[in-house]
A and B are shown apart, each in its own frame.
Chain A
Amino acid sequence: MPDEPAIEATGLEKSYGDVSVLGGVDLTVARGSVFSLLGPNGAGKTTTVRILSTLLPADAGTARVAGYDVRRERSQVRRSISLTGQDTAIDELQTGAENLRMMARLCRLPRRRAAARADELLERFDLVEAGSRRVGTYSGGMRRRLDLAASLIARPEVIFLDEPTTGLDPRSRQQVWEVVTGLTRDGVTIFLTTQYLEEADKLADRIAVVDGGRIVAEGTAAQLKAQVAGHRLDLVAVDALAFDELARRLGRRVAGSEPERLTLSVATDGQAGHVRALLDEVDPTRRAVHRFTVHGATLDDVFLTLTGHTTETTKETAGV
């Protein structure tokens, strides 16, 4: 069934007691593509991954992964997928090679083939030197790479990565991105959750923005960015009078306002021409704007635009 999607979920619901975690999630992921579920902590990303990877039964809804029903054909699904969760799934007291050989044996490879597969993956993930050392001595980035290598042992069709780069330094994050990009060349399907717009943007063919257990937008990175303009222009007025004047001229385009700091935010594509034209339009006398800054759109901007509210983390950092 080559035309069947790699993942197809309809109306997934899950609640714990009175707390609804997923309120009807629908998704379709084409074979061989990278799909990213983008959202803040508590949006329901991990719950979705756990349901799709057979670890958690949904309260309602159906899902098929790699052509099998996640509830009725659990073993078949498990043999077609791999899951890399937020917590590293390797033993610190075993060496990198031992971890991989163990996973290969658990995938029922005979001893010799298990060893060969382990060596092959160590080579591919640039861990040959480290392979004979205990994982306890590895850096965060190396652990993640080994964790990803372990997930590939059985050549899964569908790979679930739950926040693969959370907590990693920028260099390790870059390495993980390279690994994921490499995987797509093998034709596997990747389902990735992330809190970072940049990550989804860089890796995913399609992105679904999830908030409060619902998918609030879905599309390619370009389509989503078109909705949020991609950049934000912050204007600092010279005084309160100028602030009011700027606000009046911008009208409904104001995306954020902080009167006490005389700052107004407005969406832009970040192009010099657009910024220049905008400044000329709202400040024709060239006296009202004291300073301006351009920021890349953050997940918070996506959220503000798509859901009309900011994420929890924004509230904490907004006052800084």
Chain B
Amino acid sequence: MSDLALRPASLPGDSLVMLGRSVRLSIRNMDALFTALLLPIMLMLLFVYLFGGAIQTGTEYVTYVVPGVIVLCAGFGSSLTAVAVTQDMNGGIMDRFRSMDISAGAVLGGHVVASIARNLLSTVLVLAVGFLIGFRPEAGALDFLAAFGVLFLYVLAFSWVAAAVGVLTRSAEAANGFTFFVMFLPYPSSAFVPVETMPTWIHGFAENQPMTPIIESMRALLLGTPMGNSAWLAAAWCAGILVAAVATATFLFRRRIS
């Protein structure tokens, strides 16, 4: 028997309150916030100045790598949702929320929306640092908007995956393991080096994993590289992951709290 009295009428109101809560918690979790803001800067400097000299991509390396760093940082930021959700699931507050007749979707939804806000901030930071060290996109306002759209879909999908992981795990440490996984996913893709330079056996994975079309479509929008079917592939991947993740998170949530 389902244990959730979802009351659609109250969902937006509850979600808004929950969003306020999640944002406050995000801002005040100094360790995580510090990492989330420092990571983009460190990664950018690391790739451009330490590795960049040795990597030939046909363009200035900073230009090539900015979309990759944006996606890596957004992945990290999204996966932090798992930690926030698991803390709620395993603390006393979930029982209180449930006994208050609050729409359950609001709790997870609040964390996901806060994640999107957090990642918008870190993306702006990556772009700003990139600009300071020589990143010059050739994109118009519409292209920028479209690139943010792709990123939004990606963050939304992975935040929901993280929410599902958060419902499943029993400790913040375990939830953190997911962060690790998402942080590494961009490496075997075209994020930092062209796939052609990798060993042949990894091409199949690197070219067909979701990160590659997401990054390639951002590159196409920001830098005017050929788009091909990257945009469709990216949208399909994100939509597929999103639907699966929302369904899984909701199912696990209901099972966990009944």
Residues of A that sit less than 8 Å from B by CB: 50, 53-57, 74-75, 78-79, 81-91, 93-94, 98, 102-103, 105-108, 134, 147, 150-151, 154, 160
In the complex, are the beta carbons of B99 and A102 less than 8 A apart?
A: no
In the complex, are the beta carbons of B95 and A85 less than 8 A apart?
A: yes
Q: Which residues from A are CB-within-8-Å of B196?
A: none
In the complex, are the beta carbons of B92 and A89 less than 8 A apart?
A: yes
Instruction: Output the least CB separation between A42 and chain B (Å).
Output: 19
Residues of B that sit less than 8 Å from A by CB: 1, 3, 5, 7, 10, 13-14, 17, 20-21, 24-25, 28-29, 91-93, 95-102, 257-258
Instruction: Output the least CB separation between B114 and chain A (Å).
Output: 13
| A50, A79, A83, A150 pick with most chain B CB within 10 angstroms | A83
Q: Which residues from A are CB-within-8-Å of B14?
A: 106
Complex alpha-carbon distance, A98 and B28, angstroms: 13
Also in contact, A102 and B258, with CB within 8 A (given A57-B3, A86-B92, A94-B25): no
Subset of 15 A-B contacts with CB under 8 Å: A57-B258, A78-B100, A79-B101, A89-B96, A91-B25, A91-B93, A93-B29, A94-B21, A94-B28, A102-B21, A103-B100, A105-B17, A106-B14, A106-B100, A108-B10
In the complex, are the beta carbons of A57 and B1 less than 8 A apart?
A: yes
Complex alpha-carbon distance, A274 and B258, angstroms: 53
In the complex, are the beta carbons of B101 and A83 less than 8 A apart?
A: no
In the complex, are the beta carbons of A106 and B99 less than 8 A apart?
A: no
Instruction: Output the least CB separation between A132 and chain B (Å).
Output: 14
Counting residue pairs across A and B whose Cβ atoms lie within 8 Å, the total is: 79
In the complex, are the beta carbons of B17 and A106 less than 8 A apart?
A: yes
Q: Which residues from B are CB-within-8-Å of A81?
A: 99
Instruction: Output the least CB separation between B78 and chain A (Å).
Output: 20
Q: Which residues from B are CB-within-8-Å of A102?
A: 17, 20-21
Closest 3 CB pairs of A and B: A87-B92, A89-B96, A78-B101
Complex alpha-carbon distance, A102 and B97, angstroms: 11
Q: Which residues from B are CB-within-8-Å of A98?
A: 24
Complex alpha-carbon distance, A151 and B7, angstroms: 21
Q: Which of A56, A85, A86 contacts B258 (CB 8 A)?
A: A56
Instruction: Output the least CB separation between B142 and chain A (Å).
Output: 38
Also in contact, A89 and B91, with CB within 8 A (given A82-B99, A106-B14): yes
In the complex, are the beta carbons of B25 and A106 less than 8 A apart?
A: no
Instruction: Output the least CB separation between B92 and chain A (Å).
Output: 3
Q: Which residues from B are CB-within-8-Å of A84?
A: 96
Complex alpha-carbon distance, A105 and B29, angstroms: 23
Instruction: Output the least CB separation between B100 and chain A (Å).
Output: 6
Q: Which residues from A are CB-within-8-Å of B13?
A: 108
In the complex, are the beta carbons of B92 and A88 less than 8 A apart?
A: yes
Q: Which residues from B are CB-within-8-Å of A160?
A: 99
